[in-house]
Structure 1
Amino acid sequence: MLHPEASGTKDVFSAFKNFYLSLYLAYSDIRQKYRRSSLGPFWITISTAVMITCIGGIFGGLFKTPMKDFLPFLTSGLILWGFVSSCLIDSTTVFVSAESVIKQLPLPITTHVLRMVSRNVIIFFHNIIILPFVFLIVQKGVNKDIFLCLPGFFLLVVNLLWMSLLLGIICTRFRDLGQIVNSVLQIFFYITPIIWLPSLLPERTSLMILEPNLFYHLLQIVRAPLMGELPSYLSWIISVISAIIGWILTLALFNRYRSRIAYWL
């Protein structure tokens, strides 16, 4: 059993210090899940490519948008959203799924969150290989701004880590909240420009829907450089502020309730 006197902050630092363990466990999860499959996690990549093709053909014609602009936008948006939604949905059961380990081994509890996010990062990199092929098909070039997607992706992961830890704590105590998280993510999927372009919104509606939407800004700091554009300063500022405030609030909650998580399982 984990020692109740260990603080949540120490738990987080200890998990990051032994990050290699989380990465190894994440890799083992993927190998275990696809051990009898010849293509392994690339089945997810294939299904994602099929979905992009279908949605691109339908919505591209519906919105009367040139495929050179719409298809790369759609591809990067769906892959990024798949990564975000998978992390947040998995976080609702991240501690419940690791119940036996939490009760029997003195591992930092945060290790299970890092394991889950690392697993989804690996799957993300499997899926992102679709994007270069889309660029070749639509003959879209790239420029030096594409390298800004690296700090953008890092900042996205930093935000997903505190969100996952926070949801993991709350959903372990209140199990029914997992269904609410799924429903809320479905709503954000439709109000976030993933399958539609932001330029389709009137300016006033855009201010009401996009500016307050944290997920839009988190996606934009990664997707805009991939599209050869610079993310707005507002997107960077909101993403950084979200990471700082989110981690402060999450650590405060984790420090208080970390010792109770094992008893909630």
Structure 2
Amino acid sequence: MRKVLLSLILVLCLGVLAACGGSGQTSKGGEIGEKKDIKIGATAGPYSDMVTKAIKPVLEKKGYKVEVVEFSDYVQPNLALGNGDLDANLFQHKIYMENFAKENKLELSELVIVPTAPMGIFSNKFKSVGDVADGSTVSLPNDPTNLARALGVLEDAKLITIDSSIDPLKASEKDVKDNPKKLKFTPIEAAQLPRSVESVDLALVPGNFALAAKMNLLDALQLENMPDDYRNRVVVNTKDLDSQLAKDLKAAVESEDFEMTIDSDFQGFGKPEWMKNR
């Protein structure tokens, strides 16, 4: 009986050891092996398309199973990331990310900047910036961040001059120093700007709203020379910044396959400095 009992104990111990060791290595977080089923959130339109067409295929070659989760607003993608429903998201620029994280007590970090649809000056009346007439009406975004961007585009087009003592990322209408053509500004909701092209002489339309309205970015009289702070980025929770997934995501965006897809399917998107300079 003693031999039988010892044999049973030995079998049980070997079974427990096999169960503990047979499924792979344990990660720092206590999970078994590397996580391969992931969810990436993006706003519906060009950025969910970018994840689907340019990022997902590269990750799938590395063995990941990628689900793209689409959102129709700019609040839920970060909340979903923060509570663990997403592994990463793509929809926001640096200023928005930092402000949202601070206001909502989230720890978010950018992983890599991606090509981004620029704001453009659109017009059904004029064929070029040089044709713009005195007293022309101009629709602009009414939110502070996009308003500053719009004024910067107008300054680059030499239609206005902004007070040089003002941070260009925070400029507003009151900071316009010179307005030689006496342009008349009408701030409205950014989502309404594509429709406003019909009723004003010039409309400053952010790229994502232009594309959602089936506008061609290359039809703009002038496109934004966008600072990297305004370009969208892949964002993860700060605690995951050094994870294998984060490394693979960054490598996917930096791959030749990614850039080839951008060149073929996302014409007019402005490339970040790292992509221009490599």
| Higher fraction of strand | 2
Fold-level match, TM-score > 0.5?
Answer: no
Higher-RCO chain (CA-CA 8 Å, sequence separation at least 6): 1
Indicate the structure (1 or 2) with the bigger Cα radius of gyration: 2
**TM-score normalised to structure 2 length:** 0.23
**TM-score normalised to structure 1 length:** 0.24
